[in-house]
Structure 1
Amino acid sequence: MTPSTHFTAGNTPDAPRSDLPGLLDSLASDLRGIGYTVDGVAGLLGPAAHSALARDQLVPALIATEKAGTAEGATAARAAVVRLWLLAEAQPAATLDAALPGLRTEGLLELGLVEPSDDGRIQAKVDLRPYGWEKNDDGSGGAELWVASDLAAHQRPGVLRHDHVLGIGQASTTLVQVTARRHVATALDLGTGCGIQTFHLLHHAEHVTATDISARALAFTRFNLLLNAGELHLDPGALESRVSLRLGSMLDPVAGEEFELVVSNPPFVITPRSLGEAAADQFTYRDGGLPGDEIVASLVRALPGILTPGGTAQLLGNWEIPAGADWAERPQSWAGPDTDVWLIQREQVSPEQYAETWLQDASTARDRALYQQSYAAYLDDFAARNVEGIGFGMIWLRRPVGRPVLRRFEEIAYPIEQPVGPHLGAAVERVDWLASHEVADAHLVVAEDVTEERHQRPGAEHPGVILLRQGAGLRRTNLLSTELAGFVSACDGDLTAGQIIGALEALLGGGEGWDAGAFRAGLLTEVGNLVRDGFLLPA
């Protein structure tokens, strides 16, 4: 196989077929007809069972669908489909024929979505579930889709297959939420999996290139795109006009190309390497085959090279934290001096916690001897590099048009507003504004979501602590000095920042040792930081 190949096949082994347009149309029509949507499933199961299903707990949903299966019409049909694909419960062929009358069991078998079970019923070969997002306030952008992926660990026995195609998980939805959406001509979904990021990109990118090292993953993506062609505004007969599917490793499939936007949920999981291991021994959806955190490091170094001037990349990643080192030390060494970079660490765990998370992810605990051996390998691997912690977070990169203006590494472990992507985009716009404007000449106002807190001891004349808090976005808190609090209270857009500072100088200055220049410069710096973080906005 060549390092990079345009992927068009519709009949990849052990993957749904996407070369049968008539059957895909029938499937979409049948699923729509029985209300197999996000809201339809939630309504069928009820709040408690639906919430349990989101935690991979199937029993409450099994109970709920047993009751619903005795109903008539669309409710019974929806219950049968939920039991088949979400709960991995085999169904009688007659039940599926009644639930999906246009496609019937014969069509499901031909598409590769089901197979006969040992007891003569029909069982799922894949997970096929509703997925969607709400429309924007202006009525644009919403979608109701169906997404096929491999059955997850809680739906099937044994350890996952190494070419497992991951479904809609926490990491993929996190990337969806943190991506700053803007209209672009060209976008790249690096490591597409079953296609989640591509679905969202199609709503604001004229053309999307989706890559993966797994042919099965690209087969699932192609199936999902064509099943949802109408909702995604795709022409099934001319898919390449909007989406290019490429088979290959990392950036090989797009060598020599540039993109305005790149998003990636890469195989960032740090995995112990072993002598003689082959690619077939690795879980392709999460293991890039390199030691330590080198997959993420290599992407941070390389991605700016495939961006257009002003182009951006957003990805998720893990990074190792050596004993005694600051958590940001390694990521700071990856980003080149000619790149804008903003990295937010959202979580930090110990080597033991990390091993437990990813061994459970692959159901390794079902084989006790394998679990113990693999756990020990993780600890030995981290110990060999003196690693005492592993960080997880989101990375934003930009190829600047001029000189870089943003280089920020911060830890935000508390809950933030989701989706946070619009707020990240607005924050970058404020950084660009600061780079091209004099703060002293700006008319500023307090953002609508900002409130002030004052704390003082009983009987005290003045507050000892003054805080500004954001109710939206990254929900930052800023500790204010007395003079900065006075400045913020005067920001109603009438006076320039320089005029307000002049008034504060007259009010607070003049004493022995007073340095008007230092006061003004220090306050302007603090005001710039408040603008950068969204507490204050240009009027």
Structure 2
Amino acid sequence: MTDFAAVPQAPRSDDQNLLEQLASDLVSANYTVDGVAELVGADAYAALERDQPVPALLAARAAQVSQAGSRLAAVVLVFLLGETVPPPVLDEALPSAGAAGALVLGLAEEYDGGLRASVDLRPYSSDTGGDVWVASDLGSHIRPGVLRTDYVLGIGRASLTLAQFAARAEVKRALDLGTGCGIQTFHLLAHAQHVTATDISERALAVTRFNLLLNARVLGIDPANLEARVSLRLGSLLEPVLGETFDQVVSNPPFVITPRLSGEAAEDQFTYRDGGLAGDDVVSSLIRAIPSVLAPGGTAQLLGNWEITEGQSWEDRITGWLPDAVDAWVVQREQLTPTHYAETWLRDAAENRDPARFAERFSDYLVDFASRSVEHIGFGMVWLRKSQGPVGLRRFEEITYDLEQPIGPHVSAAVERSDWLSRCPDLSATYLLVADDVTEERHQRPGAEHPGVILLRQGAGFRRTTLLSTELAGFVSACDGDLTAGQIIGALAALLARDDEAFSSGLVAEVRNLVEDGFLIPATASPAR
């Protein structure tokens, strides 16, 4: 079975001593997110994250003349900014591994009388662990031209979105489907006893192995027994794990909708984003199939695109993909027109660098979408759970504003509240509290006796805002844990002279919505959302 330690044109991970020397050099050079940001400045670092290297390049060159910043500046110039440097400069920057070690590991190559990076090697920091480094292929802003079709993507917006969305509960077995550079596996290792990472690309799995072993100490991995924590599998989608089950599955799949062309071969496709199927079939097939590899009660979190066709809502389209006995929560984050979508992904692969190719491929996209009457393409996050009883959660919502990050813990807390509500068909005997981050906002005309608008706002989590009726505002103001929901409703009914069933049942329904959205929480529940 391939261990992916030495795959052509990928970083090597067959010399652990050399990897540990490299890690030691990067630590001593202060090659961290904070270290680089301090070296080049906050504005230049922010530009670098937008793939604009010029401000950071100027700052790093200036810092290189300073003795205090020379080692870090050299590492930044080579591995983040693609500069060519003389071998002695890299020897000084990496005193243990040296320029020779960078060449052996496949991190650098000879060019124009010096050495330059052959991979992007950048620092990464998250709330799940310490400072690490992540290798991937160099972007087109560093190496001009159309990307190679087996390109290994680094830490992009989509991968960060998934990492922040994924559940973080302790699990025994987790699956990172389509691991790419391995960043989701990094996060999973913080709460999973074992992670299986799959990809269709040998180069991607080689990069993942390199990243895992370079960061073995921080990730809690024994380099001599990698399989004890991580298994690397080659294959398409769920093929490498058929017959197995997992407590959690995360996937940033090759979800980009790409026109299928007559005579195209697999090697013509960008493997990091193109699953080789027509339309949104990659996402729909995954949503249908993932429950088959989930253990009872197991969850999955994935990203996806879906086509919104003429006369059909996006909610109805995804509902048609959901198997029975699967709970689901889908959040659509944006919609693009076919024109905007085509332009976005053609530029992503730097296909705009070739004007003739760009025009031809743009036309292919528009013709392809028109053939299926596609009006918009949605992007969003999908949460699934293999139900152990009747399906209790089917939720679809569109949220286009910024959420608190990471949002994953708030998703899990919301699911817990939904489960609690399903076990409590009658709220009358329950005690409720206003969540800690919720504030009330009232608006009224000058001189008016009563407010015309009463709003509840969340300061955290999904940051929702909801409009309250006068009676619902009265209910919320009394939720301090002293009275049951039934007692509060009874007091309001008496105060407003409303003893009819419609008043009570309507108020209960509104209260359930406030609990579901996290404005109110059970008195025994965590206030996290």
| TM class, shorter-length | over 0.9
Q: Which residue of 1 aligns with 2:54?
A: 59
Looking at structure 1, the residues matched to 188 and 332 of structure 2 have their Cα atoms a distance apart, in angstroms, of 24
Which of 504, 511, 521 is residue 537 of structure 1 equivalent to? 521
Q: Which residue of 1 aligns with 2:296?
A: 309
* Superposed counterparts of 1:270-419, under 5 Å: 270-419=257-406
Contact 2:84 2:116 in 1 (8 A): yes
> Could you state the TM-score of these two structures normalised by the residue count of structure 2?
0.97
Q: Which residue of 1 aligns with 2:464?
A: 476
Helix, strand or coil at the partner of 2:240: helix
Contact 2:4 2:206 in 1 (8 A): yes
One-letter amino acid matched to 1:503: A
Q: Which residue of 2 aligns with 1:130?
A: 123
Which of 524, 527, 531 is residue 508 of structure 2 equivalent to? 524
TM-superposed deviation, 1:325: 2.5
Looking at structure 1, the residues matched to 61 and 103 of structure 2 have their Cα atoms a distance apart, in angstroms, of 24
TM-superposed deviation, 1:478: 1.1
Looking at structure 2, the residues matched to 99 and 88 of structure 1 have their Cα atoms a distance apart, in angstroms, of 15
Q: Which residue of 2 aligns with 1:40?
A: 35
Q: Which residue of 2 aligns with 1:252?
A: 239
* Superposed counterparts of 1:113-152, under 5 Å: 113-117=107-111, 119-134=112-127, 141-152=128-139
Looking at structure 2, the residues matched to 180 and 479 of structure 1 have their Cα atoms a distance apart, in angstroms, of 30
Which of 83, 88, 103 is residue 82 of structure 2 equivalent to? 88
Looking at structure 2, the residues matched to 318 and 10 of structure 1 have their Cα atoms a distance apart, in angstroms, of 33
Give % identity.
Answer: 64
Q: Which residue of 2 aligns with 1:489?
A: 477
Which of 431, 440, 451 is residue 463 of structure 1 equivalent to? 451
One-letter amino acid matched to 2:423: S
C-alpha RMSD of matched pairs (Å): 1.0
> Could you state the TM-score of these two structures normalised by the residue count of structure 1?
0.95
Contact 2:4 2:202 in 1 (8 A): no
Looking at structure 1, the residues matched to 428 and 321 of structure 2 have their Cα atoms a distance apart, in angstroms, of 35
Looking at structure 1, the residues matched to 203 and 468 of structure 2 have their Cα atoms a distance apart, in angstroms, of 54
TM-superposed deviation, 1:520: 1.3
TM-superposed deviation, 1:337: 3.0
TM-superposed deviation, 1:240: 0.2
Helix, strand or coil at the partner of 1:185: strand
Per-residue Cα deviation, 1:368-395 (whole angstroms, up to 9, x for no partner): 0000001111110100000010110100
One-letter amino acid matched to 1:472: A
Contact 2:129 2:218 in 1 (8 A): no
Q: Which residue of 2 aligns with 1:112?
A: 106
Q: Is the counterpart of residue 219 in structure 1 residue 219 in structure 2? A: no
One-letter amino acid matched to 2:65: T
Looking at structure 2, the residues matched to 196 and 226 of structure 1 have their Cα atoms a distance apart, in angstroms, of 13
Looking at structure 2, the residues matched to 409 and 133 of structure 1 have their Cα atoms a distance apart, in angstroms, of 29
Q: Is the counterpart of residue 263 in structure 1 residue 257 in structure 2? A: no
TM-superposed deviation, 1:469: 0.8
One-letter amino acid matched to 1:502: G
TM-superposed deviation, 1:144: 0.9
One-letter amino acid matched to 1:30: D
The alpha-carbon distance between structure 1 residues 432 and 120, as it changes in their structure 2 partners (threshold 3 A), is same
**Mind listing any 5+ residue stretches in structure 2 that lack a counterpart?**
524-529
Q: Which deviates further from its counterpart, 344-353 or 46-55?
A: 46-55
Per-residue Cα deviation, 1:232-271 (whole angstroms, up to 9, x for no partner): 0100000000000000000000000000000000000000
Q: Which residue of 2 aligns with 1:203?
A: 190
Looking at structure 2, the residues matched to 252 and 166 of structure 1 have their Cα atoms a distance apart, in angstroms, of 22
Contact 1:88 1:124 in 2 (8 A): yes
Looking at structure 1, the residues matched to 495 and 322 of structure 2 have their Cα atoms a distance apart, in angstroms, of 45
TM-superposed deviation, 1:7: 4.0
Contact 1:351 1:378 in 2 (8 A): yes
Per-residue Cα deviation, 1:433-487 (whole angstroms, up to 9, x for no partner): 1111231111011001111111222332222221111110001111111111111
Looking at structure 1, the residues matched to 264 and 168 of structure 2 have their Cα atoms a distance apart, in angstroms, of 40
Q: Which residue of 1 aligns with 2:175?
A: 188
Q: Which residue of 2 aligns with 1:137?
A: none
Contact 1:7 1:218 in 2 (8 A): no
Contact 2:108 2:115 in 1 (8 A): yes
One-letter amino acid matched to 1:532: E
Looking at structure 2, the residues matched to 9 and 359 of structure 1 have their Cα atoms a distance apart, in angstroms, of 30
Per-residue Cα deviation, 1:17-54 (whole angstroms, up to 9, x for no partner): 00111111111111111111111111110112111111
Contact 2:4 2:205 in 1 (8 A): no
Looking at structure 1, the residues matched to 2 and 331 of structure 2 have their Cα atoms a distance apart, in angstroms, of 34
Q: Which residue of 1 aligns with 2:9?
A: 14
Per-residue Cα deviation, 1:142-194 (whole angstroms, up to 9, x for no partner): 21111100001111011000000000100000101111210000000000000
Looking at structure 2, the residues matched to 225 and 414 of structure 1 have their Cα atoms a distance apart, in angstroms, of 34
TM-superposed deviation, 1:327: 2.6
Per-residue Cα deviation, 1:290-315 (whole angstroms, up to 9, x for no partner): 00011110111111111111100000
Contact 1:191 1:211 in 2 (8 A): yes
One-letter amino acid matched to 2:189: L
Q: Is the counterpart of residue 501 in structure 1 residue 489 in structure 2? A: yes
One-letter amino acid matched to 1:158: G
Looking at structure 2, the residues matched to 537 and 486 of structure 1 have their Cα atoms a distance apart, in angstroms, of 16
Which of 233, 250, 255 is residue 220 of structure 2 equivalent to? 233
Per-residue Cα deviation, 1:462-521 (whole angstroms, up to 9, x for no partner): 2222111111000111111111111111111111001111111112235xxx7x222211
Helix, strand or coil at the partner of 1:90: coil
Q: Which residue of 2 aligns with 1:454?
A: 442
Q: Which residue of 2 aligns with 1:430?
A: 417
Contact 1:344 1:411 in 2 (8 A): yes
Helix, strand or coil at the partner of 1:486: helix
Contact 2:164 2:405 in 1 (8 A): yes
One-letter amino acid matched to 2:88: A
TM-superposed deviation, 1:350: 0.5
Per-residue Cα deviation, 1:203-243 (whole angstroms, up to 9, x for no partner): 10000000000000000000000000011010000000000
Helix, strand or coil at the partner of 2:247: strand
One-letter amino acid matched to 1:351: P
Looking at structure 2, the residues matched to 331 and 456 of structure 1 have their Cα atoms a distance apart, in angstroms, of 41
Looking at structure 2, the residues matched to 205 and 504 of structure 1 have their Cα atoms a distance apart, in angstroms, of 48
Looking at structure 2, the residues matched to 162 and 11 of structure 1 have their Cα atoms a distance apart, in angstroms, of 20
